[in-house]
Amino acid sequence: MTDQSTKTEPGPDGGVPVRTGLSPRKKQQISRAVQYVVLVAAVVFLLMRIEWGKLAENFAKPEVAAETLPDLFTVALKNTIIYSVGGFFFAFLLGLLFALMRMSSVRPYRWIAIAYIEIFRGLPALLIFLLILFLPLALPGFEVPGGTYGQGILGLTIVGSAYMAETLRAGLQAVPKGQMEAARSLGMSHARAMTTIVIPQAVRIVIPPTTNQFVSLLKDSSLVLFLGVSGEYVELTKFGNDMASTFANATPILVVGVTYLLVTIPLGYLASRLEKRQARGR
């Protein structure tokens, strides 16, 4: 597609080179034509190979889709949102705590924060959920407060907090040093200056990346499946999985997928809008 093969030779008197062979424009036209041909061939092949009736029967059966209502929204989506909003909320608080510890002047605090962040950023989310599942074995008598919701939220909190800590630290460090100095010169204590001047600005800075982190937590909430939840606690993925088994049909999976996208695509769009607005300055 590039014009590496276009031979050029210096023109007479070393002026504009004289081209030999096809012009770059011609080459581009040919390359584009080839790409279209490949695309059409692939589409035709798929159209002929796929048994459309069977596919629709399995993935988009209206009767089965209808069966998912209203629980799809009133139970499954609601729970997905409870798990992910709860997880996000606590991940934010815990992340802020670790970000501040990471920047503390007390060295052991920095060590603890670094250890926490490195460990939980490096572990697969699923492993963390399994860990929570087996927690009662390790700590007999220990119970996560809030029951099933508590367990799911705890898992997502741990998954999200390490990333959140790093994002917030970047945000805190992006606030110019002069802000803290101006606040201190007005007689504010370090803690007061942090809470009224520095943290609010840092939070504004990290809104776009944390919106993306929320989307990522929303998807990770599907891991609640592995906690063995049932009944009123199921979230979207578990719900789709159960329904698909019940009807021996994949339609619920598709329906659930669309429901995720209903939330994640607008949020992703919002995040990039916020990011652009910030790039333009305030």
Partner 1 sequence: MTPVNHAVEIRDLHKHFGKLEVLKGIDFAVDPGQVVCVIGPSGSGKSTLLRCVNLLEQPTSGRVVLEGVELTDRDVDIDAARRRVGMVFQQFNLFPHMTALQNVMVAQRRVLKRGRAEAEKIARENLEKVGIADKCDAYPLQLSGGQQQRVAIARALAMNPALMLFDEPTSALDPELVGDVLTVMRKLAEEGMTMLVVTHEMAFARDVADRVVFMDGGVIVEDGPAAQVIGEPQHERTKSFLRRVLDPTHTDV
Residues 66-69: contacts with CB under 8 Å, at least 24 apart: 67/243, 67/247, 67/252, 68/239, 68/240, 68/243, 68/251, 68/252, 68/255, 68/256
Q: Which CB atom, from 196 or from 246, has the smaller least distance to partner 1?
A: 196
Looking at the Cβ atoms of 54 and 177, the one nearer to partner 1 is 177
**Nearer Cβ to partner 1 (110/184):** 184
Q: Which residues of 242-260 are buried (b: 16+ CB within 10 A; e: fewer)?
A: ebbeeeebbbbbbbbeebb
Site for partner 1 (CB under 8 A): how many residues?
20
Measured CA to CA, the distance from residue 239 to residue 262 in angstroms comes to 17
Closest approach of Cβ 177 to partner 1, in Å? 9
**Rounded Cα–Cα distance for residues 4 and 271 (Å):** 40
Least CB distance to partner 1 at residue 206 (A): 14
- Between residues 112 and 203, which has the closer beta carbon with respect to partner 1? 203
What are the φ and ψ backbone dihedral angles of 4, each rounded to 5 degrees?
Answer: -60, -30
Across 17-31, b (16+ Cβ under 10 Å) vs e yields: eeeeeeeeeebeeee
18 beta partners:
9
Contact pattern from residue 46 through residue 65 relative to partner 1, giving x for each residue in contact according to CB under 8 A and a dash for the rest: --------------------
Residue number with CB closer to partner 1 (3 or 275) = 275
Closest approach of partner 1 to the CB of residue 167, in Å: 18
- Helix (H) or strand (E) segment spanning residue 202: helix 199-220
In the complex, least distance from residue 198 CB atom to partner 1, rounded to whole angstroms: 10
Q: Is 8 in the site for partner 1 (CB under 8 A)?
A: no
Residues 159-218 that bind partner 1 (CB under 8 A): 176, 178-179, 181-189, 192, 196-197, 200-201, 204
Binding site for partner 1 (CB under 8 A): 176, 178-179, 181-189, 192, 196-197, 200-201, 204, 281-282
